[in-house]
Amino acid sequence: MIYCRAEDTSGGGGGVSNVERLDKRLAATGKWSRKEARALVREGRVLVDGRPCRVPEEKVEEGAAVTVDGAAVSSGGPVYLMLHKPAGVVSSTDEPGERTVLDLLGEEYRNLGLFPAGRLDKDTEGLILLTNDGPLAHRLLSPRHHVDKVYYMEVDGVLDQDDVEAVRAGVVLGDGYACLPGELELLSNGSAHITIQEGKYHQVKRMLASRGKRVTYLKRVGFGPLALDEDLPKGAFRPLTGEELESLFE
């Protein structure tokens, strides 16, 4: 798998135009990263108006017929990206004065109506699904669907079996809210994986605070059937694979 980074987007033309670089046009479908798109073009698998084009930077007209391996390529379909959110970036789409998850994407992804399916705190790292598929995001986030979210965390203090049992029973937060039962898997005295099915504001931090422990590091490593790609560097993103997409829709 080839990964995308915002730095990869240099040399992208700019300005309003009815022509677009071929690699950008392919990447905008969300099926391939910009680098994968370039590789497809160089391999001769892409035809523009029936003619092979091996130049990724080639400008193509908006109305040109583009095919990959004989299949028509159309932009405008749903897009699904896995992003490794770094700390210091907010997971909203537009927040003045802040770097948002959309700022990490290449410009070809900017106008596709992408939004994060669920939020992470500014200081939390890890897996965010970016999509423009509202119904899917709604299903994944609805409490009725009990989608697992798995976090790796480090705390100030020592985690023990009492914490495991409290999480399993459903922690009661400081404001009296009783969390759904979760799972705590101890990794060391001060680190664990925690699996929860809700996404309340600061939920993991508040759960641990009610156990008298402060979360010092938090990273989401799983969301439903998706696992954070260990090879995806912080700040990088990639389209979901066919297998990942299938698992999401199951």
Site map 165..204 versus ligand URA, x via CB under 6 A: -------------------------------------xxx
Cβ 121 to ligand URA shortest distance, Å = 4
In the numeric block, the tokens 């040109």 are attached to: 64
Residue with tokens 């914490």: 163
User: Taking CB under 6 A as the rule, which mask of x and - marks residues 103-142 in contact with ligand URA?
Assistant: -----------------xx--x------------------
Is 69 one of the annotated active-site residues of the chain? no
> Which residue's CB is nearer to ligand URA, number 89 or number 105?
89
Pairwise CA distance, residues 183 & 73, whole Å: 43
Q: How far apart are CA 94 and CA 22, in angstroms?
A: 28
Closest listed residue to residue 202, CA positions, set 151, 165, 247 = 151
Could you give the C-alpha distances from 147 to 1, 59, 184, 187, 243, in angstroms and in order? 26, 43, 16, 23, 18
Residues 202-221 as x/- pattern, contact with ligand URA by CB under 6 A: xxxx------------x---
The catalytic residues are: 121
User: Given the rule CB under 6 A, which residues bind ligand URA?
Assistant: 120-121, 124, 202-205, 218
